Amino acid sequence: MTSLDDRLQIESPARRPQARTRIPPVFVVGVAMMVAVVAAILLRGPVPGDGSVASDSPSPVDAGDPAPAGSSFETPYETPLGTPLGTPLGTPSGTPSPGPGWSSPSPSPAVDLTGYVWPLVQARVTLPFGPTSWGEFIVDGQLFHDGVDMATQCGDNVHAAHDGVVLAASRQYDDYMGWTGDLAPYYHLLDTKHWWDSLPIVIVIDDGDGYRSIYAHESRVIVKLGQHVKAGQVIGYEGATGNATGCHVHFGLFSPTETATFQLDPAVVTRDLLPSSEIARIDPLLVLPFRCEISEMRTLRPIEAAPCPPLPSASPSSSARAGKSPRAAPTKTPRGAPTPTPTATPTPSSDSTAAT
Protein backbone atom coordinates (compact mmCIF):
# COMPACT_ATOMS: atom_id res chain seq x y z
CA MET A 1 0.00 0.00 0.00
CA THR A 2 1.49 3.33 -0.97
CA SER A 3 2.21 5.76 1.87
CA LEU A 4 0.91 9.35 1.90
CA ASP A 5 4.41 10.70 1.30
CA ASP A 6 4.86 8.41 -1.72
CA ARG A 7 1.48 9.53 -3.16
CA LEU A 8 2.35 13.19 -2.78
CA GLN A 9 5.69 12.65 -4.47
CA ILE A 10 4.02 10.79 -7.33
CA GLU A 11 1.09 13.23 -7.85
CA SER A 12 3.12 16.43 -7.51
CA PRO A 13 5.16 15.91 -10.66
CA ALA A 14 1.98 15.13 -12.57
CA ARG A 15 0.52 18.53 -11.62
CA ARG A 16 3.63 20.52 -12.32
CA PRO A 17 3.17 20.67 -16.11
CA GLN A 18 -0.36 22.03 -15.59
CA ALA A 19 0.88 24.72 -13.22
CA ARG A 20 3.34 25.86 -15.80
CA THR A 21 0.52 26.22 -18.50
CA ARG A 22 -0.22 29.98 -19.33
CA ILE A 23 -3.42 31.51 -20.79
CA PRO A 24 -2.69 32.92 -24.27
CA PRO A 25 -2.53 36.79 -24.23
CA VAL A 26 -4.79 36.95 -27.30
CA PHE A 27 -7.60 35.26 -25.37
CA VAL A 28 -7.28 37.72 -22.47
CA VAL A 29 -7.38 40.71 -24.82
CA GLY A 30 -10.44 39.32 -26.62
CA VAL A 31 -12.40 38.84 -23.40
CA ALA A 32 -11.49 42.33 -22.24
CA MET A 33 -12.74 43.86 -25.51
CA MET A 34 -16.06 42.00 -25.30
CA VAL A 35 -16.61 43.21 -21.73
CA ALA A 36 -15.85 46.78 -22.78
CA VAL A 37 -18.32 46.64 -25.69
CA VAL A 38 -21.11 45.23 -23.53
CA ALA A 39 -20.50 47.87 -20.86
CA ALA A 40 -20.61 50.66 -23.45
CA ILE A 41 -23.93 49.45 -24.84
CA LEU A 42 -25.49 49.24 -21.37
CA LEU A 43 -24.32 52.71 -20.40
CA ARG A 44 -25.29 54.36 -23.68
CA GLY A 45 -28.88 53.08 -23.97
CA PRO A 46 -30.77 52.62 -27.30
CA VAL A 47 -28.63 52.97 -30.37
CA PRO A 48 -29.84 55.66 -32.85
CA GLY A 49 -31.51 54.21 -35.88
CA ASP A 50 -32.80 51.06 -34.23
CA GLY A 51 -36.34 52.46 -34.06
CA SER A 52 -36.39 52.73 -30.26
CA VAL A 53 -34.60 56.01 -29.73
CA ALA A 54 -36.43 58.39 -27.40
CA SER A 55 -37.89 61.54 -28.89
CA ASP A 56 -39.67 64.65 -27.63
CA SER A 57 -41.93 64.60 -30.70
CA PRO A 58 -45.31 62.89 -30.23
CA SER A 59 -45.96 59.85 -32.35
CA PRO A 60 -48.70 60.24 -34.95
CA VAL A 61 -52.15 59.02 -33.96
CA ASP A 62 -53.80 56.64 -36.37
CA ALA A 63 -57.14 57.95 -37.54
CA GLY A 64 -58.83 54.76 -36.48
CA ASP A 65 -57.35 54.48 -32.98
CA PRO A 66 -58.30 56.26 -29.75
CA ALA A 67 -56.13 59.29 -29.15
CA PRO A 68 -53.61 59.14 -26.31
CA ALA A 69 -54.44 61.00 -23.11
CA GLY A 70 -53.31 64.60 -23.18
CA SER A 71 -53.55 65.00 -26.93
CA SER A 72 -55.71 67.66 -28.52
CA PHE A 73 -57.94 64.85 -29.76
CA GLU A 74 -59.34 63.27 -26.60
CA THR A 75 -62.02 60.61 -26.86
CA PRO A 76 -65.15 61.33 -24.81
CA TYR A 77 -67.33 58.72 -23.21
CA GLU A 78 -71.05 58.69 -22.56
CA THR A 79 -72.33 59.44 -19.06
CA PRO A 80 -75.81 60.06 -17.61
CA LEU A 81 -77.83 63.19 -18.35
CA GLY A 82 -76.72 66.31 -16.57
CA THR A 83 -73.08 65.22 -16.28
CA PRO A 84 -70.13 65.73 -18.63
CA LEU A 85 -70.34 63.46 -21.67
CA GLY A 86 -66.59 62.89 -21.61
CA THR A 87 -63.30 64.52 -20.82
CA PRO A 88 -63.39 67.83 -22.69
CA LEU A 89 -60.30 69.95 -23.22
CA GLY A 90 -60.65 71.88 -19.98
CA THR A 91 -63.25 71.96 -17.25
CA PRO A 92 -66.67 70.40 -17.91
CA SER A 93 -68.35 73.74 -18.39
CA GLY A 94 -65.59 74.98 -20.68
CA THR A 95 -64.08 77.48 -18.25
CA PRO A 96 -60.99 78.93 -19.96
CA SER A 97 -58.38 77.66 -17.54
CA PRO A 98 -55.34 75.46 -18.22
CA GLY A 99 -55.85 71.72 -18.08
CA PRO A 100 -54.99 68.43 -19.76
CA GLY A 101 -55.25 68.55 -23.50
CA TRP A 102 -54.67 72.28 -24.02
CA SER A 103 -52.73 72.60 -27.25
CA SER A 104 -51.40 76.07 -26.44
CA PRO A 105 -51.68 78.72 -23.70
CA SER A 106 -53.53 81.11 -26.01
CA PRO A 107 -55.69 80.68 -29.12
CA SER A 108 -54.19 81.04 -32.57
CA PRO A 109 -55.30 84.10 -34.54
CA ALA A 110 -58.12 83.41 -36.95
CA VAL A 111 -55.88 84.33 -39.89
CA ASP A 112 -53.65 81.36 -39.04
CA LEU A 113 -56.45 78.80 -39.19
CA THR A 114 -56.43 76.65 -42.32
CA GLY A 115 -58.11 73.56 -43.71
CA TYR A 116 -61.73 74.70 -43.30
CA VAL A 117 -64.61 74.04 -45.72
CA TRP A 118 -68.22 75.22 -45.73
CA PRO A 119 -70.56 73.04 -43.62
CA LEU A 120 -73.25 73.48 -46.30
CA VAL A 121 -72.33 73.53 -49.97
CA GLN A 122 -73.25 76.83 -51.63
CA ALA A 123 -75.13 77.98 -48.55
CA ARG A 124 -76.60 81.45 -48.24
CA VAL A 125 -75.86 83.37 -45.05
CA THR A 126 -79.16 84.05 -43.32
CA LEU A 127 -77.81 85.68 -40.15
CA PRO A 128 -74.18 86.81 -39.89
CA PHE A 129 -71.91 86.97 -36.87
CA GLY A 130 -72.11 90.24 -34.97
CA PRO A 131 -74.52 92.82 -33.52
CA THR A 132 -78.17 92.10 -34.27
CA SER A 133 -81.52 92.30 -32.56
CA TRP A 134 -81.69 88.53 -32.97
CA GLY A 135 -78.69 87.99 -30.71
CA GLU A 136 -78.74 86.36 -27.29
CA PHE A 137 -75.41 87.67 -26.06
CA ILE A 138 -74.31 91.19 -25.20
CA VAL A 139 -71.05 92.57 -26.59
CA ASP A 140 -70.15 96.22 -26.13
CA GLY A 141 -73.68 96.87 -24.92
CA GLN A 142 -75.36 95.42 -28.03
CA LEU A 143 -77.22 92.19 -28.59
CA PHE A 144 -74.89 89.90 -30.48
CA HIS A 145 -75.15 86.74 -32.59
CA ASP A 146 -72.18 84.49 -31.78
CA GLY A 147 -72.07 82.45 -35.00
CA VAL A 148 -73.15 82.35 -38.61
CA ASP A 149 -76.55 80.98 -39.64
CA MET A 150 -76.51 79.44 -43.11
CA ALA A 151 -79.11 77.55 -45.11
CA THR A 152 -79.70 75.57 -48.28
CA GLN A 153 -82.70 73.23 -47.92
CA CYS A 154 -84.17 70.94 -45.29
CA GLY A 155 -82.40 67.60 -45.13
CA ASP A 156 -79.29 68.78 -46.97
CA ASN A 157 -75.94 67.23 -46.00
CA VAL A 158 -74.05 68.96 -43.19
CA HIS A 159 -70.29 68.54 -43.57
CA ALA A 160 -67.48 68.69 -41.03
CA ALA A 161 -65.75 72.03 -41.58
CA HIS A 162 -62.36 70.66 -40.49
CA ASP A 163 -60.62 67.44 -39.58
CA GLY A 164 -61.35 66.60 -35.96
CA VAL A 165 -62.89 64.43 -33.29
CA VAL A 166 -66.56 64.50 -32.30
CA LEU A 167 -67.14 65.72 -28.73
CA ALA A 168 -70.96 65.87 -28.85
CA ALA A 169 -73.63 64.77 -31.30
CA SER A 170 -77.04 65.03 -29.66
CA ARG A 171 -79.10 67.33 -27.45
CA GLN A 172 -76.51 66.87 -24.70
CA TYR A 173 -73.74 69.23 -25.74
CA ASP A 174 -73.44 72.08 -23.24
CA ASP A 175 -70.39 70.64 -21.51
CA TYR A 176 -68.41 71.38 -24.68
CA MET A 177 -69.83 74.82 -25.52
CA GLY A 178 -67.48 76.95 -23.47
CA TRP A 179 -69.78 78.08 -20.67
CA THR A 180 -67.88 79.88 -17.91
CA GLY A 181 -70.03 78.86 -14.97
CA ASP A 182 -71.89 76.01 -13.31
CA LEU A 183 -74.39 74.16 -15.51
CA ALA A 184 -75.93 72.11 -12.68
CA PRO A 185 -78.91 74.48 -12.09
CA TYR A 186 -79.69 74.50 -15.80
CA TYR A 187 -79.53 70.70 -16.03
CA HIS A 188 -81.79 70.43 -13.01
CA LEU A 189 -84.29 72.72 -14.73
CA LEU A 190 -84.21 70.59 -17.88
CA ASP A 191 -84.80 67.45 -15.82
CA THR A 192 -87.59 69.01 -13.77
CA LYS A 193 -89.43 70.52 -16.75
CA HIS A 194 -88.69 67.59 -19.08
CA TRP A 195 -87.24 69.95 -21.66
CA TRP A 196 -84.37 67.83 -23.01
CA ASP A 197 -86.28 66.79 -26.12
CA SER A 198 -87.09 70.40 -26.99
CA LEU A 199 -83.42 71.38 -27.35
CA PRO A 200 -81.68 71.52 -30.74
CA ILE A 201 -79.53 68.65 -31.93
CA VAL A 202 -75.96 69.92 -31.93
CA ILE A 203 -72.60 68.55 -33.07
CA VAL A 204 -69.40 69.84 -31.45
CA ILE A 205 -66.04 68.87 -32.95
CA ASP A 206 -62.52 69.40 -31.65
CA ASP A 207 -60.80 70.64 -34.81
CA GLY A 208 -57.33 69.73 -33.54
CA ASP A 209 -56.01 73.26 -34.07
CA GLY A 210 -57.00 74.68 -30.69
CA TYR A 211 -60.57 75.45 -31.81
CA ARG A 212 -63.95 73.74 -31.62
CA SER A 213 -66.61 73.94 -34.31
CA ILE A 214 -70.33 73.96 -33.53
CA TYR A 215 -73.14 72.80 -35.84
CA ALA A 216 -76.64 73.35 -34.45
CA HIS A 217 -80.25 72.48 -35.41
CA GLU A 218 -79.53 69.24 -37.30
CA SER A 219 -82.55 67.04 -37.96
CA ARG A 220 -80.34 63.98 -37.51
CA VAL A 221 -76.67 63.16 -36.93
CA ILE A 222 -74.67 60.25 -38.31
CA VAL A 223 -71.49 60.52 -36.24
CA LYS A 224 -70.70 59.24 -32.76
CA LEU A 225 -68.77 60.54 -29.77
CA GLY A 226 -65.04 60.09 -30.21
CA GLN A 227 -65.29 59.52 -33.97
CA HIS A 228 -62.52 61.00 -36.11
CA VAL A 229 -63.87 62.94 -39.07
CA LYS A 230 -62.34 64.58 -42.11
CA ALA A 231 -63.11 68.01 -43.55
CA GLY A 232 -66.04 67.66 -45.93
CA GLN A 233 -67.31 64.41 -44.39
CA VAL A 234 -71.09 64.26 -43.93
CA ILE A 235 -71.89 64.40 -40.20
CA GLY A 236 -75.64 65.11 -40.20
CA TYR A 237 -78.57 66.71 -41.99
CA GLU A 238 -79.86 70.28 -42.04
CA GLY A 239 -82.92 70.75 -39.86
CA ALA A 240 -84.83 73.04 -37.53
CA THR A 241 -84.62 71.31 -34.13
CA GLY A 242 -84.83 73.60 -31.13
CA ASN A 243 -86.29 77.06 -31.56
CA ALA A 244 -85.81 77.72 -35.28
CA THR A 245 -88.11 79.32 -37.82
CA GLY A 246 -86.66 77.32 -40.71
CA CYS A 247 -84.08 74.70 -41.62
CA HIS A 248 -80.54 76.00 -41.25
CA VAL A 249 -77.21 75.39 -39.54
CA HIS A 250 -75.86 77.67 -36.85
CA PHE A 251 -72.07 77.40 -37.26
CA GLY A 252 -69.76 78.64 -34.52
CA LEU A 253 -66.04 78.61 -33.74
CA PHE A 254 -64.24 79.16 -30.45
CA SER A 255 -61.04 78.26 -28.63
CA PRO A 256 -61.27 76.79 -25.11
CA THR A 257 -58.10 78.75 -24.26
CA GLU A 258 -59.68 82.14 -25.04
CA THR A 259 -59.98 84.36 -21.97
CA ALA A 260 -62.46 86.89 -23.42
CA THR A 261 -66.15 86.18 -22.86
CA PHE A 262 -69.57 87.06 -24.28
CA GLN A 263 -72.20 87.99 -21.69
CA LEU A 264 -75.49 86.14 -21.95
CA ASP A 265 -78.66 88.25 -21.88
CA PRO A 266 -79.48 88.57 -18.14
CA ALA A 267 -83.14 87.76 -18.83
CA VAL A 268 -82.09 84.40 -20.28
CA VAL A 269 -79.78 83.74 -17.32
CA THR A 270 -82.64 84.38 -14.89
CA ARG A 271 -85.19 82.34 -16.77
CA ASP A 272 -83.09 79.33 -17.79
CA LEU A 273 -80.51 79.31 -14.96
CA LEU A 274 -77.66 79.26 -17.44
CA PRO A 275 -74.17 80.63 -16.68
CA SER A 276 -73.83 84.37 -17.21
CA SER A 277 -71.25 84.12 -20.01
CA GLU A 278 -69.54 81.92 -22.55
CA ILE A 279 -66.06 81.90 -24.06
CA ALA A 280 -65.94 84.48 -26.87
CA ARG A 281 -66.38 83.22 -30.42
CA ILE A 282 -64.67 84.25 -33.64
CA ASP A 283 -66.42 85.05 -36.92
CA PRO A 284 -66.44 81.83 -38.98
CA LEU A 285 -66.41 83.88 -42.17
CA LEU A 286 -62.79 84.72 -41.37
CA VAL A 287 -61.70 81.11 -41.93
CA LEU A 288 -64.17 79.60 -44.40
CA PRO A 289 -63.20 79.60 -48.11
CA PHE A 290 -63.84 83.02 -49.61
CA ARG A 291 -66.92 83.50 -51.76
CA CYS A 292 -67.50 86.71 -53.70
CA GLU A 293 -71.29 86.47 -53.41
CA ILE A 294 -71.19 86.72 -49.59
CA SER A 295 -71.22 90.44 -48.86
CA GLU A 296 -70.03 89.99 -45.26
CA MET A 297 -66.91 88.20 -46.52
CA ARG A 298 -66.12 91.13 -48.79
CA THR A 299 -66.19 93.43 -45.79
CA LEU A 300 -64.07 91.15 -43.63
CA ARG A 301 -61.53 90.23 -46.32
CA PRO A 302 -61.13 93.19 -48.69
CA ILE A 303 -57.92 91.95 -50.31
CA GLU A 304 -59.59 88.75 -51.47
CA ALA A 305 -62.66 90.74 -52.48
CA ALA A 306 -60.72 93.12 -54.73
CA PRO A 307 -61.09 91.06 -57.93
CA CYS A 308 -64.75 90.24 -57.28
CA PRO A 309 -67.39 91.69 -59.62
CA PRO A 310 -69.97 94.08 -58.14
CA LEU A 311 -72.74 92.46 -56.16
CA PRO A 312 -76.29 92.56 -57.51
CA SER A 313 -78.66 94.90 -55.71
CA ALA A 314 -80.13 92.10 -53.54
CA SER A 315 -77.41 90.43 -51.46
CA PRO A 316 -77.82 86.72 -50.65
CA SER A 317 -77.50 87.72 -47.01
CA SER A 318 -80.64 89.83 -47.21
CA SER A 319 -82.86 86.80 -47.74
CA ALA A 320 -85.33 85.72 -45.10
CA ARG A 321 -83.67 84.76 -41.87
CA ALA A 322 -83.55 81.02 -41.43
CA GLY A 323 -83.91 81.15 -37.69
CA LYS A 324 -82.17 81.83 -34.43
CA SER A 325 -79.03 80.49 -32.95
CA PRO A 326 -78.71 76.97 -31.67
CA ARG A 327 -80.35 77.37 -28.39
CA ALA A 328 -83.08 79.89 -28.74
CA ALA A 329 -85.59 78.50 -26.31
CA PRO A 330 -87.46 75.27 -26.95
CA THR A 331 -90.62 75.36 -28.98
CA LYS A 332 -92.19 72.10 -27.84
CA THR A 333 -92.16 73.13 -24.19
CA PRO A 334 -92.15 76.94 -23.98
CA ARG A 335 -90.20 78.59 -21.19
CA GLY A 336 -91.92 81.66 -19.85
CA ALA A 337 -94.41 81.49 -22.74
CA PRO A 338 -91.82 82.12 -25.48
CA THR A 339 -92.68 81.44 -29.11
CA PRO A 340 -90.47 81.59 -32.21
CA THR A 341 -90.20 85.13 -33.49
CA PRO A 342 -91.52 85.48 -37.06
CA THR A 343 -88.77 86.01 -39.58
CA ALA A 344 -90.60 88.99 -41.09
CA THR A 345 -90.22 91.02 -37.92
CA PRO A 346 -86.81 90.28 -36.41
CA THR A 347 -86.85 91.34 -32.79
CA PRO A 348 -84.76 90.20 -29.84
CA SER A 349 -85.79 86.76 -28.69
CA SER A 350 -87.07 86.42 -25.16
CA ASP A 351 -86.69 82.69 -25.06
CA SER A 352 -83.22 81.55 -25.90
CA THR A 353 -81.29 79.00 -23.94
CA ALA A 354 -78.04 79.99 -25.44
CA ALA A 355 -75.56 77.83 -27.22
CA THR A 356 -75.48 80.04 -30.23
pLDDT tens-digit map of 48-106? 334 333 333 333 333 333 333 333 333 333 333 333 333 333 333 443 333 333 334 46
173-202: average pLDDT: 96
Confidence tier at 355 by pLDDT (50, 70, 90)? very low
Residue 145's DSSP bridge partners are: 130
Please give the DSSP secondary-structure letter assigned to residue 24.
-
Residue 159 CA, chain-centre distance (Å), reads 15
- The domain limits of the chain are 113-303+314-318
Residue 299 CA to residue 122 CA, distance in Å, equals: 19
Direct distance between the N- and C-terminal alpha carbons of the chain, in angstroms, rounded to an integer: 114
pLDDT tens digits for 7-43? 444 444 444 444 455 666 666 667 777 777 666 666 6
Q: What percent of the chain has pLDDT over 90?
A: 55
* Buried/exposed 150-172: b ≥16 CB within 10 Å, e otherwise: bbbeeebbbbbbbbbbbbbbbbb
Task: Give the pLDDT mean for 256-277.
Answer: 96
Rounded distance between C-alpha atoms, residue 243 and residue 352, angstroms = 8
Rg, the chain, Cα only:
33
Percent of the residues in the chain that have a pLDDT greater than 70, as a whole number: 60
Q: What is the DSSP string of 98-141?
A: --TT-S-SSPPPGGG------SSTTPEEEE-SEE-TT-SEEETT
pTM of this prediction exceeds 0.85: no
Q: What is the pLDDT of residues 109-142, one digit of tens each?
A: 888 899 999 999 999 999 999 999 999 999 999 9
Strand partners, 166: 205
Q: Which of 313, 296, 254, 266 is nearest to 129 (CA)?
A: 296
Q: What is the pLDDT of residues 213-254, one digit of tens each?
A: 999 999 999 999 999 999 999 999 999 999 898 999 999 999
CATH number of the 113-303+314-318 domain: 2.70.70.10
- The torsion angles phi and psi of 36, rounded to 5 degrees, stand at -65, -40
